[in-house]
Structure 1
Amino acid sequence: MEEEQITAARTRVGWIGTGVMGSAMCARVQAAGYHVTIYARTPAKISALCLNGAASVESPRAVGERSDVVFTIVSNPSDVRQVILGTDGVLSGLAPGGILVDMTSSQPSLAREIFEQATAKGCDSVDAPVSGGDRGAENGTLAILAGGRRETVAKLEPLFRCMGSATYLGPPGSGQTCKLANQITVAGSQCGLSEGLVFARKVGLDVRKYLSAISGGAAGSKVMELVGERIIERDFATGGPVKYMAKDLGMALEEGEKREVSLPGSALLEQLYVSLKANGGGELGLPSFITAFERLNNLSSPLPTNK
């Protein structure tokens, strides 16, 4: 018998995780015509999604009971474990044949554990963290980094296409491993961007002209495109919270130690992000990373915009 394909007409979608990223991603799945069942600890956060037809339920288990495919994008690995593998978690309610898709930035080892427990119940799982920030979530242009069974990732393509473009990386845990490498790269790019801006400001350059001048050369990057203007405008409210980058780099260092991979740059950057948290900036967006370098250089006033 041919395996049933995923379509808006017959596939029930579950969703857990309605922060800035999750809400925008879920809304795009809804806009494609899928019926969505949502669990949220704070019902007010899902009011707009419910107005558009989503059903709100009282537990992760209830999401599993009413869904064929369940997406999770929560804060930390401990949250992932609770909402998926907990006593009242999604897997306890998901029927055989159901698929779990965890899009949280989490631990590769936990992704493999979820896959094993899902398989034991006759279900399946994919670890599919994302890159692209709040703008990517809103515009449906996220890079989706997928690990698991190749055929399952291919089957999920109609849903992934609502949110961005998926790349199959390999067996369970590969998506999370790729996301850790991604965060190492993003943090390094942001370090260079921030230090360059602080240097330009200290030596008296017009920082807006500076960014414009270098953006088309070797220094140009997606990170510059996404956060460069936000840094100059002091828009620190968006771009993904600092606390999550600190978490991701911490996980990368843990994984590196297990695999005997030396990551000296990541160790320094993780401490700089932790310093932002220590100064009360954990909830600020990634453009605020520049303030760590401003403090080191006795710069506290806003960057000049020179419009």
Structure 2
Amino acid sequence: MTVQTLTESEAFAGRPAPRAGVIGLGMIGGGVAVSLARRGRIPAVYDIRPDAADKLAGVPATLGSPAEVARTSDVVLVAVVDADQARTVLTGEDGVLSGAHPGLVVVLLCTVAVPVVHELAAVCAEAGVGLLDCGVTPGDKAAENGLVAILGGEESTVDEAMPVLADFAKRVVHCGPLGAGMATKIARNVITYGTWRAVHEASTLAEAAGVDPEKLITVVEEADPEGATLFSWLRQRLAGKAETRAIVPQVERLLDKDLAAAQDLAGHLGLSLPLADVTRAHGPETLAVPVKEEA
């Protein structure tokens, strides 16, 4: 995995500035269009709502179809909602592929299943168009050049799109070949929704025991203000150090003891803690530390 951050001058070095297009001007796509315009790369845009660009700073009026965007762009960013909309935008009448020219790159910003990425890439390849999968986060920072672009695709295609990506994202993380960006975004979403569930179970348990959930928030934020705990064990696992492996039995006993106490309290209060149940049942798997081979 590589992490790339380029300034505009670095991105443009030795080649013409690619033209950008954005299809779908919702929170993500509209924000991306604003961020591109702020950097001086005014995008061609399209949305099913003809007035979608009217309140987007620096963004021109929408064109008449995705095909028109493709004709006037070198890199087209597709920021629709789901797989069906992506298929329609790419392959429908007046879709992107009907207006494609040699060297066009499509960057898929919406979150879809990984097989859909490969499906759309194959359709694009038949038309001589490259495709990159590019999950983005956090969505509320799209208009502030604040997105992280989570990229999958061939290195040469990434290089072609990089000047445009660097103009709307604060960080571009190339995770690997086609599909790797989407898999990483999906995994990131598992963390998001999984932690929401963990917080729900914890706050429900605290509240049922007579504790104000705001007190729980205070305790967690004061104890771990930077959120370092979230990845602490994963980092230790990835390091694969002998000292980490040595403490696994002790940590496993603590995990089992502490979650048993949570289950006991939940039982007395008539609550269900399915995430805690699964975590305790799979404690050894969660804590397993691989042996890291010496270089």
Indicate the TM-score class for this superposition, using the shorter chain for normalisation. 0.5 to 0.7
Which residue of structure 2 aligns with residue 118 of structure 1?
A: 124
1:56 to 2:70 alignment: no
Give, in angstroms, the shift of residue 140 of structure 1.
Answer: 2.7
- Report the more deviating stretch, 193-202 or 84-93: 193-202
- 1:30-81 alpha-carbon deviations (Å, 9 max, x no partner): 10101211111112322123x6242411111111111111001111100011
- Give 1:237-248 correspondences, 5 Å limit: none
1:82 to 2:82 alignment: no
1:35 to 2:42 alignment: yes
Q: Which residue of the other structure, out of 187, 204, 207, is the alignment partner of 1:201?
A: 207
| Rounded Cα–Cα distance in structure 2 between residues aligned with 1:88 and 1:221 | 47
| Rounded Cα–Cα distance in structure 2 between residues aligned with 1:21 and 1:203 | 41
Distance verdict in 2 for CA 1:45–1:150, change over 3 Å: same
User: Do the aligned residues in 2 keep the contact of 1:5 with 1:155 (CA within 8 Å)?
Assistant: no
- Report the more deviating stretch, 110-119 or 70-79: 110-119
User: Do the aligned residues in 2 keep the contact of 1:60 with 1:89 (CA within 8 Å)?
Assistant: yes
Which residue of structure 2 aligns with residue 166 of structure 1?
A: 172
Q: Which has the higher contact order (CA 8 A, sep 6+)?
A: 2
User: Do the aligned residues in 1 keep the contact of 2:79 with 2:108 (CA within 8 Å)?
Assistant: yes
User: Do the aligned residues in 2 keep the contact of 1:9 with 1:34 (CA within 8 Å)?
Assistant: no
Which residue of structure 2 aligns with residue 213 of structure 1?
A: 219
Which residue of structure 2 aligns with residue 262 of structure 1?
A: none
Distance verdict in 2 for CA 1:200–1:39, change over 3 Å: same
If you compute each CA radius of gyration, which structure gives the higher value, 1 or 2?
2
Q: What secondary structure, in the 3-state scheme, does the structure 1 residue paired with 2:163 have?
A: helix
- 5+ residue gaps, structure 1: 225-267, 270-307
- Alignment RMSD: 2.8
**Number of matched pairs:** 220
Give, in angstroms, the shift of residue 154 of structure 1.
Answer: 3.4
Which residue of structure 2 aligns with residue 234 of structure 1?
A: none
| Rounded Cα–Cα distance in structure 1 between residues aligned with 2:13 and 2:110 | 22
Give, in angstroms, the shift of residue 100 of structure 1.
Answer: 0.4
Q: What secondary structure, in the 3-state scheme, does the structure 2 residue paired with 1:168 have?
A: strand
- 5+ residue gaps, structure 2: 1-10, 231-273, 276-295
- 1:275-303 alpha-carbon deviations (Å, 9 max, x no partner): xxxxxxxxxxxxxxxxxxxxxxxxxxxxx
Q: What secondary structure, in the 3-state scheme, does the structure 2 residue paired with 1:61 have?
A: helix
Q: What secondary structure, in the 3-state scheme, does the structure 2 residue paired with 1:47 have?
A: coil
Q: Which residue of the other structure, out of 70, 81, 84, is the alignment partner of 2:76?
A: 70
User: Do the aligned residues in 1 keep the contact of 2:69 with 2:76 (CA within 8 Å)?
Assistant: yes
Which residue of structure 2 aligns with residue 141 of structure 1?
A: 146
Q: Which residue of the other structure, out of 155, 160, 163, is the alignment partner of 1:150?
A: 155
Distance verdict in 2 for CA 1:198–1:207, change over 3 Å: same
Give, in angstroms, the shift of residue 119 of structure 1.
Answer: 2.6
Tell me the percent identity: 26
TM-score by length of structure 1 reads: 0.64
| Rounded Cα–Cα distance in structure 2 between residues aligned with 1:115 and 1:96 | 15
- 1:211-260 alpha-carbon deviations (Å, 9 max, x no partner): 122125469749x9xxxxxxxxxxxxxxxxxxxxxxxxxxxxxxxxxxxx
| Rounded Cα–Cα distance in structure 1 between residues aligned with 2:76 and 2:137 | 19
User: Do the aligned residues in 1 keep the contact of 2:18 with 2:164 (CA within 8 Å)?
Assistant: no
| Rounded Cα–Cα distance in structure 2 between residues aligned with 1:106 and 1:7 | 34
| Rounded Cα–Cα distance in structure 1 between residues aligned with 2:20 and 2:43 | 5
Give, in angstroms, the shift of residue 190 of structure 1.
Answer: 0.9
User: Do the aligned residues in 2 keep the contact of 1:30 with 1:36 (CA within 8 Å)?
Assistant: yes
